[in-house]
Amino acid sequence: MSRRLALVIVVVLASAGTAQAQYLLAPMDGEQSNHLRAYGLAYWVLGRGERVEWLLNYRAGSFLLPDAAEVRREAALRGVSVEPVGASRLAAIRAEIDGSNMEAVVLEKAPRIAVYTPPGSQPWDDAVTLALSYAGIEYEELWDPEVLGGELGRYDWLHLHHEDFTGQYSKFYLTYAGAAWLQEEVSRNRRVARAFGLPDSPSLKKAVAVKIREYVDGGGFLFAMCTATETIDLALAALGVDIAASYADGDAVEVDASARLNWESTFAFEGAAVFAEPALSAFSDIDGHLVNTPMRQPLGTFRLFDFSATIDPVATMLTQNHERVIRDFYGLTTSYRRSHLKPSVTVLAEEPGAPWVKYLHGNHGDGTWTFLGGHDPEDPQHVIGDPPTDLDLYPHSPGYRLILNNVLFPAAKKRHLKT
């Protein structure tokens, strides 16, 4: 072979190599320097109009990103570990995924995110806003006027702040009756109720719960934690029930209506008993831990179920994690009794041997909902007045990863959303 011909062959091969797509892998196993901000990096790439592949069950749910100087720079700014992936390594990754319980899910578009939260709430009042802010994911806030005004349709994903949809203000008046923040919350709810021609806070919250259910039925993605998970179903089950009692805040609230509740229109629960005692700081027997009652149960750990990404891609997306056993954490609603779950509910995590579970998912109409019990994954004993959780101290939090799994879930290509 002549020297000139050899040179031509080398140039052609080099050109072919540079023409092939190059990628960056954001590993999500123990090699990742900041698990939470890796989600923000993936969201940022989607916001640039580029696609991301979520490699389910591959190295704890890693992300495959396009290789570009801007992406490398953004990863460095966020402190996210990335690894270059050339053609040969990409082929090896594809071969490892093919024929296994792994799957490469294409993420196509950054979902539009809304957080349902009252005016004036602080980011640290809610674990989801903490997670979004720390990961660098943009979101908009809305509350009852926007929900009743029909604005939910602007968003792909909705998170419910720890709201009490029964209209009892989480029964905080039992302890904080004179607190200025609670008095303002009561006053604000009443003003909004009057503005929409509704008689009281329970009526307002029922109307909002119906709008949220309609949003999910129309194809929306709903994620909720803590009180909101239990009370939105109680509000929906109580539609049309007219049993009320007077509480310290002066509003009428639904109580002792268990025999007349209609569970057909709820998301997750059925057959629960509503607690009628005004002095008992709990809503129903849905919650297994009953944190603020004499029946309080101790915290343990919960285990994520292992799903096959080829058979159950949705459940797999929602449970991607580098840890499978996670320390439990309290909330006004901490867990869910198995006996009150609808048959259609998918359990994503449980405390083995306990009569309750922690993490749920299901379909409603054309949309989906996901419920996670507890308030803050890194503040197990959370109480009002606690300092905000500093996520710089918990960049590898497995509990916060569950929240961020839900944020990226709506970005998945539609064919992967069938279970």
Question: Are residues 40 and 147 both part of a single domain?
Answer: no
Share of the chain above pLDDT 70, in %: 84
Q: Does residue 135 sit in the same domain as residue 40?
A: no
Q: 95 and 162 in one domain?
A: no
Based on the domain organization, do 92 and 185 belong to the same domain? no
| Mean pLDDT within 151-165 | 93
- Report whether pLDDT(397) > 80: yes
Let me know whether 165 and 103 are in one domain. Answer: no
The pairs formed by 338-342 with CB atoms below 8 angstroms and a separation of 24 or more are: 339/271, 340/269, 340/270, 340/271, 340/272, 340/285, 340/286, 341/268, 341/269, 341/270, 342/263, 342/266, 342/268, 342/269, 342/270
Judge if 166 and 283 occupy the same domain: yes
Q: Give SS3 for 336.
A: strand
Enclosing domain of residue 326: 113-417
Are residues 240 and 262 both part of a single domain? yes
- Reply yes or no on whether the pLDDT at 177 is more than 80: no
pLDDT in tens, 220-257: 999 999 999 999 999 999 987 754 443 444 454 444 45
Q: Write out pLDDT tens, residues 27-64.
A: 999 999 999 999 999 999 999 999 999 999 999 999 99
The enclosing domain of 394 has a CATH number of 3.40.50.880
The mean pLDDT value for 76-105 works out to 95
Quickly count: other Cβ atoms within 10 Å of residue 31's Cβ.
14
Whether residue 15 is predicted with pLDDT greater than 70 in this model: the reply is no
Inform me whether the pLDDT recorded for 12 exceeds 50. no
Final residue belonging to a domain, choices 107, 126, 145: 107
Residue after which a domain boundary falls, among 77, 107, 137 = 107
Domain boundary among 78, 107, 136: 107
pLDDT of residue 134: 97
Give, as one character, the DSSP assignment of residue 399: H
How many domains are there within the chain?
A: 2
Backbone phi and psi for residue 298, each to the nearest 5 degrees, phi listed first:
-70, 155
Contact 35, 61 (CB under 8 A): no
Q: Average per-residue pLDDT in the chain?
A: 87
Verify that 119 and 97 share a domain, yes or no. Answer: no
At 181 the pLDDT is 65
Say whether both 91 and 150 belong to one domain: no
